[in-house]
Amino acid sequence: MQAAVMRANNVPLEIEEVAIDDPGPGEVLVKTAASGVCHSDLTVIEGGLPVPPPSILGHEPAGVVEAVGAGVTDFSPGDHVIGCLSSWCGVCKFCTGGRPYLCLTQFAGRPEGAAPRLTAANGDPILQFGNLSSFAEKMLSPERSLVKIRDDMPLDRACLIGCGVTTGLGAALNTVNIPAGASVAIIGCGGVGLAALQGARIVGAGQIIAVDAQAWKFNLAQKLGATHCVDASDVDPVAAVQEITGGGADFVFECIGLVSTVQQAVAMTGRGGTSVLVGVVPITQKVEISAADLTLQEKKITGSFMGSNRFRFDMPKYIDFYLDGRLHLDEMISSRLPLAEVNDAFDRMRRGEAARQVIVFE
Ligand SMILES: NC(=O)c1ccc[n+]([C@@H]2O[C@H](COP(=O)([O-])OP(=O)(O)OC[C@H]3O[C@@H](n4cnc5c(N)ncnc54)[C@H](O)[C@@H]3O)[C@@H](O)[C@H]2O)c1
Ligand SMILES: [Zn+2]
Ligand SMILES: [Zn+2]
């Protein structure tokens, strides 16, 4: 099969012929139909998350089951599925405690000594990213990395739910509890931020303030539910949000992953409010914040990982939201492209020229 292989950090992905193994026990072979391009893939390419090359990125997929391994009972060939990084074991304390997205073994891969799932033309193993690696014509995944979805859901939109939508929407619906009428600011209107924004709209937030440095995003943000837009390239976003909300927002979602915007998020959170850190700051960087600001104004900060998902429960619900007209996905897709153009997608992402880009397979 064709796949885009990361051979080294900070260089373009290479389109190569790669071998994919047959499904082992508990595994499912999926023909990839579409894969969204998430900023976390770019963070990996730039060395900000530890996924060593050679590896195949892509973790926002939808596709069709081609074959299943021994013992697989949840899927059959022909099923439409979404893949998710949040593979769960079902027995660790996080799984049994109701937070499977924190599962201790979610990135474990095949057992020690087993053949690799992915192999280069020269026979060398290629690392699979998060049990998915969707920048490839096929994926070989544990059944607990997949969820079956309705056949009437278009796969080129379903894929967005695999990461960005679940991350943003889940941050608003699962990680925190936003009362109707609360003020919400979203910093960063990429795929993740626009999904958090829609989550705020769906739960009935009051003011919904979209902050971005690319003013062209605001038309889209307003269509998706923003009541106010703040151009961070033009004004001080902290002062602007404080002004709009009368002292700071009740909830602020940082959906970029920069040190400076995390600091802005905490600063524009109002008294008693909550800053939700969704963006992934490169692991080599630290963020300085005022502890007194947190104490004296009783602000809370929480991380939000993969939208605090229970994806087999959440994703079919999000698809119903889309098909009922409550979750807008068509508008979030700024372009569809073939796998061969994946590097162009990352260039557009670096320049801030894209909303969500989707790789579609024949
Ligand atoms: N927490 C999780 O589980 C999780 C899951 C997926 C993605 N992420 C992270 O979420 C973040 C967003 O991902 P995405 O795919 O939506 O990214 P994206 O690149 O599509 O969007 C980022 C947005 O931020 C804007 N921006 C950049 N710098 C800015 C600045 N200084 N001020 C204001 N706006 C600015 C860009 O214009 C763009 O609209 C990334 O850090 C990604 O790694 C986290
Ligand atoms: Zn992602
Ligand atoms: Zn577990």
- Take atom 44 of ligand 1 and give the residue whose Cα is closest: 279
pLDDT (0 to 100) of residue 67 = 98
User: In sequence order, what DSSP letters do the residues of 122-152 get, joined into one string?
Assistant: TS-B-EESTTT--SBSEEEEEGGGEEE--TT
Separation of CA 197 and ligand 3 centre (Å)? 30
Structure tokens at 329: 């996905």
pLDDT (0 to 100) of residue 60 = 98
pLDDT (0 to 100) of residue 154 = 98
Q: What is the pLDDT of residues 215-258, one digit of tens each?
A: 999 999 999 999 999 999 999 999 999 999 999 999 999 999 99
pLDDT (0 to 100) of residue 108 = 86
Q: What are the backbone dihedrals phi and psi of residue 260, each rounded to the nearest 5 degrees, phi first?
A: -65, -40
Q: Which residue has the tokens 């009368």?
A: 246
Question: Which run of H or E residues covers position 319?
Answer: helix 311-323
Strand-pairing partners, residue 196, are none
Q: Is the CB of 256 under 6 A from ligand 1?
A: yes
* Higher pLDDT pick, 207 / 50: 207
Structure tokens at 333: 């897709």
Separation of CA 286 and ligand 2 centre (Å)? 21
Q: Is the CB of 212 under 6 A from ligand 1?
A: yes
Q: Is the CB of 279 under 6 A from ligand 1?
A: yes
Strand-pairing partners, residue 304, are none
List of domains in the chain? 2-162+328-360 (3.90.180.10), 168-304 (3.40.50.720)
Beta strands (DSSP E) in the chain are: 2-6, 14-20, 27-37, 55-56, 61-68, 80-83, 118-120, 127-128, 138-142, 146-148, 184-187, 208-212, 228-231, 249-254, 269-277, 300-303, 333-337, 356-360
Q: Is the pLDDT of residue 106 over 90?
A: no
- pTM for the whole thing? 0.96
Q: Specify whether the backbone of 89 is left (phi greater than 0), alpha (psi in -120 to 50) or beta.
A: alpha
Separation of CA 40 and ligand 2 centre (Å)? 5
What is the signed CA dihedral for 248, 194, 174, 273, rounded to 10 degrees?
0
